Amino acid sequence: MKYEWRKQEKNLYLPGNEPVLITVPQQRFLMISGKGNPNNEEFSEKTGVLYSLAYAVRMMPRQGYTPEGYFEYTVYPLEGIWDLTEKGRKSNTLNKDELVYTIMIRQPEFVTQETVYKAFEIVRRKKPHPLLDQVTFGTMEDGLSVQMMHVGSYDDEARSFEQMKKYIKENNLEITTLAHREIYISDPRKTDKSKLKTVLRYKVHYK
């Protein structure tokens, strides 16, 4: 039976549209970092190379290599950790050229560094990509977090962040880092802006 994150991990990927406190365990990711406006070509290329590798892992048995512990699964959604440069933080308005980010795609527990090396081999052979060597593999653990589902345009996320900050304040919590995480549940190429679903998450701790 195929493992589907939409069904098995609803608490992480399909929260309601009200803030909620959760604990996010350690997870494995393919990651690539960058700076600048996410509407530019470079961001699109970085997203593309992550998906090339993620699907190379997913389809590995068809290439004659089955990692130990492999199981059928749905590829996880794209995620991003977003922050601003010092210059960007000093500005009163959001300047997207001053954004700094790490985008990533989560990998199942069976994926090891060896599996990732194999995925790199497959991508280099089938569809070489100039940004391939910028991709890294590692673990991350958000731990105690507040998250909610934002429905609507990415440019309208401020209203959901305000809701989250209000919840954090009312529950005697503090945000631990100015950076926040976004998980893109919808495909922006196929979804109307008003219906885009994005999980927004702040790492927090108790005061």
Distances (CA, A) of 53 to 77, 114, 145: 13, 13, 28
Question: What is the band of 19 on the pLDDT scale with cuts at 50, 70, 90?
Answer: very high
Tokens 């954090």 correspond to what residue? 168
Question: What is the band of 60 on the pLDDT scale with cuts at 50, 70, 90?
Answer: very high
Mean pLDDT of the chain: 96
Amino acid at 111: V
Domain containing residue 37: CATH number: 3.20.80.10
> Does residue 11 come out as left (phi exceeding 0), alpha (psi in the -120 to 50 range) or beta?
alpha
Burial 47-84 (b: 16+ CB within 10 A, else e): bebbebbbebbbebeeeeeebeebeebebbbbbbbbbb
Question: What is the band of 128 on the pLDDT scale with cuts at 50, 70, 90?
Answer: confident
Amino acid at 3: Y
The residue range of the domain holding 157 is: 5-206
Q: Does residue 133 carry a pLDDT above 90? A: yes
What is the rounded radius of gyration, in angstroms, for the C-alpha atoms of the chain? 18
Mention every residue, 6+ apart, whose C-beta is less than 8 A from residue 143. 23, 24, 203
Q: Are 185 and 199 within 8 A, CB to CB?
A: yes
Question: What is the band of 24 on the pLDDT scale with cuts at 50, 70, 90?
Answer: very high
- pLDDT at res. 203: 98
What 3-state class would DSSP assign to 97? helix
Whole-number Å distance between alpha carbons of 109 and 122: 20
In SS3 terms, 191-202 reads as: CCHHHCEEEEEE
Count of domains forming the chain: 1
Whole-number Å distance between alpha carbons of 129 and 61: 22
